[in-house]
Chains A and B, each alone.
Chain A
Amino acid sequence: MTDELRQRLARIDPASGQPPLSEKQRNELLERIMSTPVTEPTPDRTGRTWTVAVAAVAVLVLAVAGGMGLFGGADNPPVATDSPLELNAGEEDPMAMCIVFSTEELERVAEIAFEGTVTSTEGARVALAVDTWFRGGDVTTVVLNAPQGMEALIGGIPFDVGSQYLITAQDGTVNYCGFSGPSTPDLRAAFEEAFA
């Protein structure tokens, strides 16, 4: 049955009839790539801003401390950059963005999900040591930055040094509306189920 399903799915593979790239095209592409310096500096995205429609201004800064440097190429995703990534948000009604909490929604809205312990709060910046990655990275430190003040972080949830929080983010912006918050048994169970 399983093999039958696999074969049946393979028959609707839209790429099954795709002709390979010509040798000339392939070689040109590979030659161009191989002429690129391996150590070319990672593009600095600091200062680039993306405006998204949430009101709780949250800036997620990921400090890379490990293997996510793997993806430090020209199109490195937000979680994989060596330099701070600052994403600004906050133009519209926050309530307009709230959706009913469920583990399915939690899974859907989270490109990044982790549990971390607050190690410091300095001004509008909160540093967390990551205890568990559920999705999207393997850095050891995440810094949240709320330019408009601490109260803007994650829907006004206060951060206390030494306390644990469960955080999700999308497009580099922290999700609130219950999708991030202090680590409680219920929220942790939801994370474990959503990212099993």
Chain B
Amino acid sequence: MSDERGRLFEDIAQEVFEPLRRYLSRRSSPADADDLLADVMLTVWRRFDDAPSGRELAWCYGIAKRVLANHRRSQSRHLRLVQRLAAEPRQEFTPDPADFGPDPELATALASLSERDRELLQLWAWEQLEPREIAFVLEISVNAATLRLGRAKKRLADSLAGQNSEGTGHKSGEGIQEPL
């Protein structure tokens, strides 16, 4: 292995290591996140020659997304088997609003969205990606990413507004209840 390749990988790793670790820890259990990170970094190591210049992080998120999807498929197969044996209803992993602490209203609203909407909003707000980068990660057009993100924001706002009208019995002028 050339030293040059090693140096290039270290440069990329320096940039993406912690963002990828946070990405994975947001979407899996702490016990799994570091193992998944090792899988992602291994793929990055093998394939970083293919990384588009200037978009390395988004490219790595794409890899992480696939590794995570693979992990979930594996978990799902295992879960189906266990649940079949236990004859219990299927349960999906969904974020627990209690985990989000400081803003349970928003956490509840976020948890109420579809997985696709959540993923868009999380990529936007947690990974701080712009629509063109989100499009790259999700392998969709920039136009589709922009439209979907807009709809996801609207649904989040609607969910928050619904909570407020149920919870307080009056309209609140706070937060993000207006159309976005």
Contacts and interface: CB of A to CB of B under 8 A. Distances in A.
Interface of A: 1-2, 4-6, 8-15, 18, 20-21, 26, 29-30, 32-34, 36-38, 40, 50, 52-53, 67, 70-78, 80, 107-108, 111, 135, 171, 196
B99 interface: yes
B22 A6 contact: no
A14 B69 contact: no
B70 A77 contact: yes
Contact of A71 (B43, B45, B73, B128): B43
A124 B56 CA distance: 42
A30 B13 contact: yes
18 contacts: A2-B180, A5-B153, A5-B176, A6-B125, A8-B106, A10-B125, A12-B102, A12-B103, A14-B99, A18-B21, A34-B1, A34-B9, A38-B1, A71-B47, A72-B47, A73-B46, A74-B43, A80-B66
B119 interface: no
A33 B102 contact: no
Interface of B: 1, 5-6, 9-10, 13, 17-18, 21-23, 25-26, 34, 37-39, 41-43, 45-47, 50, 63, 66-67, 69-71, 73, 76-77, 80, 95, 99-103, 106-107, 110, 114, 116, 121-122, 124-126, 128, 139, 144, 147-148, 153, 156-157, 175-176, 178, 180
Nearest to A29: B38
A37 B10 CA distance: 16
A33 B35 CA distance: 12
B144 A18 contact: no
A77 B66 contact: yes
Contacts of A29: 37-38, 41
Contacts of B45: 33-34, 36, 38
A2 B10 CA distance: 36
B18 A20 contact: yes
B1 A77 contact: no
